[in-house]
A and B are shown apart, each in its own frame.
Chain A
Amino acid sequence: MSKDMKFLVVDDFSTMRRIVKNLLHDLGYPNVTEADDGKTALPMLQAGGFDFLISDWNMPGMSGLDLIKAVRSDAKLAKLPVLMLTAEAKREQIIEAAQAGVNGYVIKPFTAETLKEKLDKILGATAK
Chain B
Amino acid sequence: MSSFQILKLEYSACVEALTDALRTEDETAFFAAVDHIVHMREPGMFKELRQLTGDLQQALERFSIESRLQDIAENEIPDARARLVHVINMTDEAAHRTLDLVEQSCPLAQRTAEEAAALIEAFEQLKSRAASGPSYDSVLQSVEGLAPLVKSVERFLPSARSNSDLIRRNLSDVLMAQGYQDLTGQIIKSVMKLVAELETALSSLASLSGDVVEHATMGESASKGVGPAVPGVNKGDLASGQTDVDALLSGLGM
Contacts and interface: CB of A to CB of B under 8 A. Distances in A.
B227 A94 contact: no
B212 to A, nearest CB: 31
30 contacts: A14-B96, A15-B92, A15-B95, A15-B96, A22-B99, A22-B103, A57-B225, A64-B225, A65-B223, A65-B225, A86-B225, A87-B227, A88-B225, A88-B226, A89-B228, A89-B238, A90-B222, A90-B236, A90-B237, A92-B222, A92-B236, A93-B223, A94-B239, A95-B248, A98-B252, A107-B241, A107-B242, A107-B245, A108-B228, A114-B242
Given A58-B225, A105-B249, A90 B238 contact: yes
Interface residues of A, number: 31
Ranked nearest first, the 6 interchain pairs of A and B with the lowest CB-CB distance are: A58-B225, A87-B228, A15-B95, A91-B237, A57-B225, A89-B229
A19 interface: yes
B218 to A, nearest CB: 13
Interface of A: 14-15, 18-19, 22, 57-59, 63-65, 86-96, 98, 103-108, 110, 114
B222 A96 contact: yes
Contact of A87 (B92, B229, B248, B252): B229
Band of interface residues on B: 20 to 34
Contacts, number: 78
Contacts of A89: 228-229, 238-239, 245
Given A18-B99, A22-B102, A91-B248, A98 B225 contact: no
B213 interface: no
Nearest to B248: A94
Contacts of B237: 90-92
Contacts of A91: 237-239, 248
B131 interface: no
Contact of A58 (B92, B227, B239, B242): B227
A34 B50 CA distance: 70
Contacts of B229: 87, 89
Given A91-B248, A98-B254, A63 B225 contact: yes
